[in-house]
Chains A and B, each alone.
Chain A
């Protein structure tokens, strides 16, 4: 039985370092190659020694597919390709290919230059790695080799995020990466057609959450910013450079436009400008509104949002500043925060989750006095707001995607085990399909039932057509007689005569004979006649003949009667049929075994 094997190297019952190995139809595919944000040791990267103890991965992998540019999905890529060694194709969408190296370079800088790690990949390695990348377009079917083909679907989440459909022969797997089923200000919703894959590998970050309407949150956010600006306060929004930051920019930009506001909005860090540039370029990957209006004006060419300079933080009057990083743990956002924290007119809006221990986490929990380095304390007087803008599908969204794709099996990754358990139960209950949630290194094997295409000879087909049924209906199975010839990995269905001819064999007749004892007081010929009339009344629509040579023919089945010597009443019926008429023959024998009806 053919099977598909899925082994998560990372992201199995966990969030971070997504890396999933899939063996399908003899092909090995690696889906995503990410790093784990929480670790600084070897656990940071997936354990590639699972694939091969030593030596390069090229021989073991047919291709690598990266779903989007977040580091937990692509962070280990240069390590894998350059340091472990992989020369095969790496597939990703155009925006991912463009933005991925920026993030990798940033990541490298932080680890090597700031933390002083050695034995890390270099800029050159990132470049070399990106040379191996083959870009994908949405809905474009790419033939990796003769049998393996992949196709990307839109996934929302971040610019260029894609879901991939992988197909070998008639077996297929869909990997969602991260996706979002509700559209936001700059991206659309994920979409897939009814591709009915054997396995759907889905993320499940929000497996147990059903989220509130996006509009409420947006409105709240805008209202708060607006109120603060009207009071003359300054608003700090700590963000990570890509993804949510752009969404918030668009949100504020359009709001400023609509409401005719004049207060300046600033965006810090140079990296963002580079990224914004790519957002401008990849308009086709954004949502309906931006796609439709970009001819008049590209929404990412911000009118109100300007680059930030450190000196601006002291400017009087209201302003909004987006600054990195997002958790207020270091860098520019922290500097600005320190400057503004003393004024109660100001406001800080945390647009995402904050890790424990960061200043962001502290102030969100209501701490009003912060201890800074050097024993100085900081009074936090400004308002602290929390707005969650997350771009993962919630439980409902995941179910919606399952309904869209109609998979035969379901596999959950990229989420916490306990939450997955719940969703797994729900999926099994609602769709009655199997659902798996392997841990890292655990292999899931799914048996598939692939259909094997067979060439059929035209003669046989025509003959079958002539037999019955007005139309061939591909949805209904139909049984037919023929001979299957397997020759040099090609399958052919031909009529038996043709098969004999091709193979140069003689035809052998196979006949079954059967003796049925019968108690009948009549003479042989009379018994035969009674059998004849009995069958005639029983089998309507069959040709039944009473031949003069003392036999009854039902189609091609011959029935004879002979009486035994000792008892004239005990008759022996002889039935003989060819194997083609096996059904009818065995039916007749069972009928005759019951005896003839009494006259």
Chain B
């Protein structure tokens, strides 16, 4: 009874605890409110001169002010503002007003009028500008209201004629940020004529300042116009001409803004017609704008050049005729037309002879040019990209390459044309540019077929010492179409050379050849005898199976053979044997082949190859059926349920192995079902009815199971990408069940934690579950959670013992919620390529110093690997280190694929023998980051709300196989 009473007390106390916890900050606020403003007031009154006052203000600005006291503070500041004579102090006050009105939770409408009033008798230009800036802040804080906007527009217009550039700047900003379109014009047009004069069209007002004498004001006017556009106002076409004039402004910031303006207009009115000055022709506006912006690519200022080059990329509506001019730079030499090197290369190629190099005067000009037709200042787009790609600043070059990419993606004919230029960029002096151009070429490679001479240039880069470049190039070759069998041979030759020079590129080269083979089966076919060095009469020696170069050739041939049934006839005996070996050892590179006369292989492989695309669907069907079958299990005590689960899990695992497309989904289901199975087993122990002291042993297994389920649920939640909220709810549900199980077990053993605390925690978890997954609850019918939530009112008031009993019963009766699979679900995987773990030579290093271990791994389906992927190093003595790789170590070679190339520093005290350490990759997770609770609960005052009920669980999941590395720290020699 005493114990019972005590519990009651605790219970009540625990309820009380929450309330003061929530109210505590509120109380503090009330206390601080008067003190804050009062203190400021006192300080400002104390200030004898302006320097002091400024000091006080500066100090004051460092501390945050609560939303409630902002208004008071502002009143005091305003009061001082009127008294103050010193400009700098007034300026500071004005800027403080702006800062304060940004305080969260404070609505500045109460000070709006006051702020406007301050403008009326201000003489200092700087202060005026600052006040206008403050108004802009206030205006943006206030909700959309036409009256306020109108008022601010009027204010801005009034001060636009100020002589100081800063004031005009701010006015234009105000107009741009808050100016209202023609709505006031219509309303006031007839009404009060006085204000209609002030409220002209905002755009006309702003465009008047395009011709201001101060470049800063001109820039501000252009920016304001751009902002109007961003706010969804339609910019008039009249502006176009004015903006074009500003393209030749003396000041770079004006030109830069003008480029943007012209671009915006070209996107708004692409099809309207503009006249060409000095002739009576007319062209489309977008073409005209394109020409003008192209012109800016040879501007004097590199920032403008970057801007222009970037902008060009997004002008996709431009007509192809103009587009192709950007790559055209008419060459002439002594007034005679000369062909470009590109053209010459093409011609040589067409004539059958490969470029043997340039001879003295082989670029001798051919036709005589008419001097009148040569246009030196290229009108319009001429040669814009030629200039951009040759620019001095690599920023411009990169921008030009990117723009080329965008334009080429939308126009295949342009892609064809820009190929030569992109290939030239492979030779840039800055690696970034080279890399970027390789990537770009990859992106547009669907449109193009490489000529032999182009391929030759591309392949020359394979010898680059930078790994990134080489790999990007391999990636490019995977997607490239080539035209002749010579090309294939050339590519193979260069790749083998590369392999020879950089053996670490093995995997990448093989993969590259795989795609090359499967893309060009017909081109590979005539090469096969040569590649496999077969002879019609003589047996040739059997090549070494471990030679990476030989494997590379085989990969190429086998992949080509897949879609070329006549090829296997050319294979010699050992080739078939090697095929069988490679098919097993490198199954991801070697496709299943239908080989004649090899019944075994044929029948085995036919499962895979016959089914083809259909197999995915049938596997999908199988998956669905399995899940459906499982769903017949009513609750965790259904007889035979365990066996069914066992079988299904086994089926799914096998399915995952067979069907790589469904591996993620199958794995996910299997893991989920395993959780259920574990739960079922734990509950079905007969222990529940036996007395407490007897079941200690069984308890251990159940506890372990519960623990394992919790861990598995984290894996389910964080290891798989493509989960929807519904699946997350299901996972959380399982976790809840596991937690319940844990609670029951602790309650029964009564060891460790106070059951009161843990039950309290459990209830909180249930609540947060409910909050988080409210929309998902209907899907969880008849489940544990639903039943629990029904009983919730009772649970929260009852005693722990009772709670445990209820839980136990619910747990056992609840059904298995059916798992619905999302469209695409992928398991995050990681493979460590380097170190391979095969080396028998220990890496030796002196103790106390560090050993840098190169790690090279591919990650698939990992979102945001920069934050989540860690490297773990396990030493034989049980020490473990977790290393966070630098964000720059992650590369992104393709969608959903990442590559980690990093160095891990190891160090240890001396060992007598070399020993192995384990290296593996971990996926770090944190439940706080993933839970969508914050947005859904709708707490407006989240910044000082109660702490989240569920403390963030952080942990790591190992998601790669551990690789063993042999190391040997030697004792330091003295």
Contacts and interface: CB of A to CB of B under 8 A. Distances in A.
Interface string A250-268: 0000100111100000000
Contacts of B360: 350, 364-366, 384, 386
A477 to B, nearest CB: 14
16 contacts: A183-B391, A189-B392, A191-B300, A210-B330, A213-B340, A213-B341, A259-B465, A260-B463, A385-B359, A387-B358, A395-B332, A396-B376, A399-B377, A403-B298, A473-B213, A474-B213
B341 A216 contact: yes
B483 interface: no
B546 interface: no
A183 B390 contact: yes
Contacts of A396: 329, 376-378, 383
Given A217-B341, A400-B298, A470 B161 contact: yes
Interface stretch (A419-427, A495-503, A546-554, A570-578): A419-427
B163 A471 contact: yes
A218 B358 CA distance: 12
B465 to A, nearest CB: 4
Interface string B371-408: 10010111000010010011111100000000000000
B392 A188 contact: yes
A194 B376 contact: no
B250 interface: yes
Given A210-B332, A396-B376, A194 B250 contact: yes
B393 A288 contact: yes
Interface stretch (B421-429, B821-829, B876-884): B421-429
A370 to B, nearest CB: 15
A216 B453 CA distance: 13
Contacts of A562: none
Contacts of A560: none
Interface in A495-518: none
B331 A425 contact: no
Interface stretch (A19-27, A51-59, A220-228, A319-327): A220-228
A371 interface: no
Contact of A404 (B300, B394, B463, B465): B300
Nearest to A211: B331
Contacts of B393: 288
Contacts of B501: 260
A386 B377 contact: no
A213 B161 contact: no
A100 B695 CA distance: 99
B357 A220 contact: yes
Interface in B212-261: 213, 250
B463 A254 contact: no
Contacts of B340: 212-213, 216
Interface residues of A, number: 60
B392 A287 contact: yes
A449 B161 CA distance: 33
Given A288-B392, A473-B213, A209 B430 contact: no
A61 B260 CA distance: 49
B27 to A, nearest CB: 57
A209 B357 contact: no
Contacts of A586: none
Contacts of B796: none
B394 A288 contact: yes
Contacts of B386: 213
B272 interface: no
Interface string A162-186: 0000000000000000000011010
Given A216-B341, A259-B463, A470-B161, A209 B427 contact: no
B334 A208 contact: yes
A43 B265 CA distance: 60
Contacts of A399: 376-377
B936 interface: no
A387 B386 CA distance: 20
A358 to B, nearest CB: 13
Contacts of A404: 300
Contacts, number: 131
Given A182-B390, A216-B342, A219-B424, A386 B374 contact: no
Nearest to A208: B335
Nearest to B427: A219
A368 interface: no
A277 interface: no
Nearest to B466: A258
Contacts of A395: 332, 376
A215 B427 contact: yes
Given A191-B300, A366-B360, A403 B394 contact: no
Most buried by A among B298, B335, B357, B457: B357
A423 B342 CA distance: 26
B460 interface: yes
Nearest to A361: B360
B357 A258 contact: no
A172 B334 CA distance: 32
Interface string B488-529: 000000000000010000000000000000000000000000
B376 A185 contact: no
Contacts of A208: 332-335
Contacts of B896: none
Nearest to A189: B392
A60 B173 CA distance: 57
A444 B789 CA distance: 100
Contacts of A385: 357-359
B159 to A, nearest CB: 12
Interface string A119-158: 0000000000000000000000000000000000000000
Contacts of B377: 396, 399-400, 403, 430
B464 interface: yes
A257 B430 CA distance: 13
Nearest to B299: A404
B427 A220 contact: no
A387 B359 CA distance: 9
Nearest to B160: A470
Contact of A426 (B333, B338, B376, B425): B376
Contacts of A193: 300
B334 A419 contact: yes
A508 B442 CA distance: 88
Contacts of B374: 426
B424 A216 contact: yes
Contacts of B392: 183, 188-189, 287-288
A215 B390 contact: yes
A303 interface: no
Contact of B464 (A192, A258, A419): A258
Contacts of B378: 396
Contacts of A211: 331
Given A289-B430, A473-B213, A425 B371 contact: yes
A383 B427 CA distance: 24
Nearest to B464: A258
Closest 10 CB pairs of A and B: A216-B341, A183-B392, A364-B360, A215-B424, A386-B360, A260-B465, A188-B392, A259-B463, A208-B335, A189-B392
Contact of B213 (A224, A258, A430, A475): A475
Contact of A215 (B250, B358, B371, B425): B425
A214 interface: yes
Nearest to B382: A396
